[in-house]
Amino acid sequence: MLLNIAWRNIWRNKRRSLVVLSSVVVGVAAILVIDGLNNGMLNQMLYNQISSSVSHLQIHKSGYNDNKVIQSFIPESDKVEYKLQNTAGIEAYSKRVKAFGLVSSAYNSSGVYITGVIASDEKRVSNIADMMVEGSYLTDKKDEIIISKKMAEKLNVKLGSKIVVMASTLDGSPGQQLFKVTGIFETYSSTFDKSNIYIGLPDAQKLLEVGDEIYEFAVIAKNHEQIELLDSSIESGLDDRYEVLNYKVLLPMMIMQIQLTKESMMILNMIIGLALIFGIINTMLMSVFERIREFGVLMAIGLKSGRLFRMVVTEALILGIIGTIAGIAAGYLFTLPFVHYGFDFSVFAESLKSFGVGAKIYPAVSFENTISVAIMIPIIAVLGAIYPAYKAVKLQPVYAIRHV
């Protein structure tokens, strides 16, 4: 019956209740939309990094990731490859030769990361082939090079242009080779585009004079959620001459950013919660002050303080629960179309590209944050009602009954 009274009391002043409900709905929906955009952006950044170059797992010679020297090629790479071929949970892998070098045209030059790949294998672990804006991806023919649009602009070259790639060879002497630009790509990351070029694996091995050696196995897992399992499964079959690093280790800044974003969402939740709590305190105080006489009567006929307290708090709790449910529904309804079509942030395209994100962000509201909001807002509503409820129970029935 107290619940019934609390419910009816809420609707005594419909306008006031609707105003406070609207603030809760807008607050909750805003939290979810912002969370969705943040997650969407981070997911894209992560996905773009993984699918363009990092992959889910990388295997190197031990210590390579910290000190990428040309001498650190993978020892007995065929054994590693055999292990990969016989490990469950691997979708694809690609062998890479990587080095730092210089690319020069007749007009300009630029420092770059040179990646030598087998085109057919690399296509299965990287989406660079899908990012071609001119020409085509590598075809495993000799002397082919693909560069980014930004690099092409910098070097002032176009499809078919000849450019020279230089790098230090295994014995320390300078190596150089002439390549023909056969493709120009453009990824979502301007930073990546500024500093990466791709050539065929044999060309890279020839340029660096490393024979058949390779420096990296890039692995795509069937289920990246269980990457740690795959990581340890591969690692268990290899000795300490190798390092097996998953993307969480390879992208520490990215992972830290995801963590920071989660924490900043908690702060945002708290700020919005704090704003809501004052609205709820105000509404409940007004509601209590309007009913002083009624509370006096209730106490006179035997309603104990605890029950009166619960009644006031229940009203706020109901408001909080309704507002939260409606807010979650509004947040999801607003976000839903953009999950498929994306928020178009073309105006900020250049800035977003510097973060490795496309102009369209596909929001992804996290279930975890939804649950956290669904718990937090009703608690905030209850907290907001504590002071008004305290004021109610502190009333003296004898005076409250006479209140006009």
Partner 1 sequence: MSIIRTEKLEKIYQDNGVPVHALRGIDLEIKKGEYTVIAGPSGSGKTTLLNVLGALDKPTKGNVWFEDQNLADKKKAELSDFRLKKLGFIFQAYNLIPVLTALENIEFSMMLLGKSEKERHEKAMALMEELEIAELAKKRPNEMSGGQQQRVAVARAIVNNPEIVMADEPTANLDTKTGGNLLDLMEKMNAEKNITFIFSSHDQQVISRAKRLLYLRDGLIEKDS
Report how far residue 199's alpha carbon sits from residue 138's, in angstroms, rounded to the nearest whole number: 7
Q: Which among 37-45, 108-116, 151-159, 299-307 is the span making contact with partner 1, rule CB under 8 A?
A: 299-307
Q: Give the nearer residue to partner 1 in terms of CB position, either 4 or 85.
A: 4
Q: Is 26 in the site for partner 1 (CB under 8 A)?
A: no
What are the structure tokens assigned to 84, written together?
Answer: 């990969």
Q: Which of 99, 277, 299, 318 binds partner 1 (CB under 8 A)?
A: 299
9 binds partner 1 (CB under 8 A): yes
- State yes or no: residue 286 binds partner 1 (CB under 8 A): no
Q: Which of 149, 180, 293, 360 binds partner 1 (CB under 8 A)?
A: 293
The window from 16-24, 35-43, 193-201, 301-309 that contacts partner 1 (CB under 8 A) reads 301-309
First-to-last C-alpha distance (Å) of the chain: 26
Q: Residue 401: which region, alpha, beta or left (left: phi > 0; alpha: psi -120 to 50)?
A: alpha
- Binding partner 1 (rule: CB under 8 A), the pick from 103, 201, 250, 298 is 298
Query: Contact, 109 vs 259, CB < 8 A?
Result: no
Binding range to partner 1, per CB under 8 A, among 28-36, 62-70, 211-219, 394-402: 394-402
Ranges of H-type helices in 342-356 = 349-354
Hey, what amino acid is at 121? D
Collapsing DSSP to helix, strand or coil, 26 comes out as helix
Tokens of 387: 């002071």
Residue 365, CB half-sphere, CA atoms under 13 Å: how many? 25
Among 88, 253, 267, 301, binds partner 1 (CB under 8 A): 301
Q: 221, 89 in Cβ contact below 8 A?
A: yes
Cβ closer to partner 1: 11 or 367? 11
Q: For residue 268, how many other CB atoms are within 10 A of its CB?
A: 16
Residue 300 found at the interface with partner 1 (CB under 8 A): yes
Site string for partner 1, 307-326 (x = CB under 8 A): x-------------------
d(CA 351, CA 342): 17
* Interaction between residue 12 and partner 1 (CB under 8 A): yes
Beta bridge partners of 220: 92
Select from 1-9, 116-124, 195-203, 339-347 the region that touches partner 1 (CB under 8 A). 1-9
**Does 267 interact with partner 1 (rule: CB under 8 A)?**
no
Q: Are 149 and 193 in contact (CB under 8 A)?
A: yes
Q: Tell me if 398 contacts partner 1 by CB under 8 A.
A: yes
Secondary structure of residue 320 in the 3-state scheme: helix
For 359, phi and psi rounded to 5 degrees? -70, -20
3-11, 133-141, 250-258, 355-363 -> range binding partner 1 (CB under 8 A)? 3-11
Candidate residues 303, 359, 382, 386; the one interacting with partner 1 per rule CB under 8 A: 303
Q: Which residues contact partner 1 by CB under 8 A?
A: 1-2, 4-5, 8-9, 12, 293-294, 297-305, 307, 396-398, 401
